[in-house]
Structure 1
């Protein structure tokens, strides 16, 4: 998931143009990274509505503070920190614990069977991912972040270490514990899925 040099150079060019007031360059950055920002926000908040708010705030901050990106790290690392800060500020502003991801759990009910489909494997995959999204919110904040970035978004531990400003050994420790917990919970809820899905956990 690392950004190749050519992509880095393209992004830096967009950043420079956007910092100079080129709105089309900023819109290009926003389109390129919005989905990623939203995923990060959802992993931080556990609530799709909160994630929408955080993603919008992160885009505003990206617009205001692009000039602070000096190119010494990957742009995604800088942008993750912006998103993380926006999520932390939302949490403080509301002064309460995050709501659990109830809407997503209802919308992705792992017990729901699609009567129109006879494709068992596809159904099992949907069911497994529904369980993963449900149990993701039961992990500690750090474990949730690391699991989401590594196992759901495909970043390597070294990249996650940089993004979270965390020692690589700590990232691997959180990932190990998160995988162990997820495997245990899925095993308890749907043991038939673990053989196919829980291979890395």
Structure 2
């Protein structure tokens, strides 16, 4: 995971030759990427924190995606305002794409719990296979983690209510739910990757 730069951030200024920096980055110059990181990492992180309403985990995930997109698509830019504008477009699209993925994943969780209580219409064969895989993955969780997922996604209980019920903070419950979702996602992706 990307770490916040411990150096004092050097803001791009008149002395920063963005055209040269971006040309060197496009030519895969490692020193240029280090300079880019020094100049833009913290600035992009702050920008993404605003876009993600202060959700640090979402901001950092979007930052990783943004940085990968910079590496793949960088070209010569001049002046700095145009380069920053391009970076913000990449950052915003990273946030939007992450939100779409999150909604699809949460939708799958909701359909899974919905299918446990009835026969939902409109579930195709692919979704049915994913729901079955999700069920098997949930069975591997501890009882406490399964119970937490059932309360949140099966019963639609709020994080505040769950936190109150188990004597934890809302942040702790959100963190635990995030860990469980990541664990489930890894198991599912591993299975799909190795499926023949």
Question: If the length of structure 2 is used for normalisation, what is the TM-score?
Answer: 0.43
Question: If the length of structure 1 is used for normalisation, what is the TM-score?
Answer: 0.42
- Structure with bigger gyration radius: 2
Question: Which structure's relative contact order is higher, taking Cα pairs within 8 Å and 6+ residues apart?
Answer: 1
